[in-house]
Amino acid sequence: MVEGRKAMRQFEYKVVETKAKAWLAFGGKIDAAEAEIELNEMGRQGWELVETMALIGSGSTRRIVYLFKREIVLEYP
């Protein structure tokens, strides 16, 4: 890096999709304990949760989509 110039921060992104558990035939139940374990594991790997989206079908949640980001650390010689 040239002295006096600031490096631009770079990020990578990851999308994780979790299916909702079926309640009767309609879906819609999310296991909060299971989600917490998965989210904490992503955090330990340096991923930051930036967005969640519920994908709805037939009036109930079918899937949850999590969007994560983490900074790419560039090493210079």
36-59 residue pLDDT tens: 999 999 999 999 999 999 888 777
Residues 50 and 13: their CA atoms lie apart, in Å, by 10
Per-residue model confidence as pLDDT tens digits over 9-21:
899 999 999 887 7
Contacts of the segment 40-46: beta carbons below 8 A, 24+ positions apart: 42/14, 42/16, 42/66, 42/68, 45/70, 46/70, 46/71
Q: Between residues 50 and 76, which one has the greater pLDDT?
A: 50
pTM over 0.85: no
Q: What is the reported pLDDT for 46? A: 97
Mean pLDDT for the chain?
A: 83
Residues 6+ apart with CB under 8 A from 41: none
